[in-house]
Copies of this chain bind each other. A is one copy, B any other.
């Protein structure tokens, strides 16, 4: 995999901005592997992502940061520069349902998800041996024994100790306390097993069955204190019929959950997602 820098910019739209950034990149000899732009015409906000061949540029990471800062300030940018070799540290939070966990570990193991997985945290012990196979430390947080409050304190501590960049709720099924949501804002991704905003909350497949919809789905979104209301990154749907029971929907829905979550996590890891208010720009 080619080493790249990713320059991600979010700022007020302004004439000359793209020229200025492009000139900066050209001046330093940068080869553009991928470039994406978006202007939100309603809010006048501009979003830009460049993936730059690291070989081509005559600056190292620190030098790039330094040189680019004045330009960034001039245009009031919220921005970041990431180095594709610097892997994010991703913690997986899991429960009994293992399909998302198994899928993410496989994609990570085969290099599709370019990150480190320093730990798996679960409220049930069943997947320990599986984690062992992948040589990922596994922490069972016993919600029953500890009570909710202390259990989440333990999780918060683990996330800190492992210096976690991104927390993925891989069908974790426990609602994070507000304080933790705020602490992880923009750095925690959940998969909800419905096509949001339909069927937020508990037992979405049963809700879907009761309503008699003809398609079910899954939604990958950032975690916020408002349950199932965070910015949506990706959604996936699947056709069903009257002959599907709620149990069939659970089975069929898993394929939606797995792909929506895997895509959402990959987009995040590759710095393809920018949160704008309660929505996302996804340069997929």
Q: Which residues of A contact B (CB under 8 A)?
A: 15-16, 18-20, 22-23, 25-26, 29-41, 56, 98-99, 102-103, 106, 110, 112, 129-130, 133, 195-199, 211-215, 217, 231-235, 237, 239, 241-243, 245, 251, 255, 259, 278-282, 284
Q: Are A234 and B212 in contact (CB under 8 A)?
A: no
Most B-side CB within 10 Å, residue of A26, A133, A233: A26
Q: A38-B242, A38-B243, A235-B215 are in contact. Are A25 and B19 (CB under 8 A)?
A: yes
In angstroms, Cα B270 to Cα A251, docked, is 15
Q: Are A19 and B23 in contact (CB under 8 A)?
A: yes
Q: Are B280 and A212 in contact (CB under 8 A)?
A: yes
Contact of A281 among B38, B106, B242, B251 (CB under 8 A): B242
CB-defined contacts of A30 to chain B, threshold 8 Å: 15
CB-defined contacts of A255 to chain B, threshold 8 Å: 259
Given contacts A32-B39, A38-B243, 20 further A-B contacts (CB under 8 A): A15-B56, A18-B25, A19-B23, A19-B26, A33-B41, A35-B37, A98-B106, A98-B110, A99-B106, A99-B110, A102-B106, A103-B106, A195-B195, A196-B198, A197-B198, A213-B232, A214-B232, A241-B282, A242-B282, A255-B259
Give this chain's copy count. Answer: 4
In angstroms, Cα B106 to Cα A103, docked, is 9
CB-defined contacts of A278 to chain B, threshold 8 Å: 211-212
What are the nearest 8 A-B pairs in CB distance? A212-B279, A19-B22, A16-B26, A19-B23, A19-B26, A242-B281, A214-B235, A18-B22
* Residue of chain B at shortest CB distance from A1: B247
In angstroms, Cα B215 to Cα A56, docked, is 33
CB-defined contacts of A241 to chain B, threshold 8 Å: 282, 284
CB-defined contacts of A130 to chain B, threshold 8 Å: 133
* Residue of chain B at shortest CB distance from A232: B212
In angstroms, Cα B130 to Cα A234, docked, is 30
CB distance from A185 to the nearest CB of B (A): 16
